[in-house]
């Protein structure tokens, strides 16, 4: 009878250990995922300034194109 009790206790300990390992694995995964979610800038400030200038130049070009097309259609309708 004591053998059955000991077997039950060992089985219960095994289940507790399995559950604990599962929980610890989930915690480890969440901790690793949180590290990956951190945003690290890959550009320097000068890269960002250059990009801002490129965007500004692009906007100027688009406005110039729009003005050219508008003048073209205004002059052709006369």
Residues 43-65 have pLDDT tens digits of: 888 998 999 999 999 999 999 99
**pLDDT surpassing 80 at residue 22:** yes
Domain extents for the chain? Answer: 1-40, 42-78
> For residue 43, what is the DSSP state?
S
Q: What are phi and psi of 76, to 5 degrees?
A: -80, -20
Query: Taking the model in full, what pTM does it have?
Result: 0.42
User: Which helix (H) or strand (E) covers residue 4, if one does?
Assistant: helix 2-36
pLDDT of residue 39: 63
């Amino acid at each position: 009878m004591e053998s059955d009790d000991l077997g039950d206790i060992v089985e219960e300990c095994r289940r507790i250990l399995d559950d604990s390992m599962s929980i610890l694995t989930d915690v480890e995964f969440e901790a690793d995922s949180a590290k990956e979610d951190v945003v690290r800038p890959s550009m320097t400030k000068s890269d960002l300034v250059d990009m801002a200038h490129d965007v500004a130049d692009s906007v100027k070009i688009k406005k110039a194109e729009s003005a050219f097309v508008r003048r073209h259609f205004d002059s052709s309708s006369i």
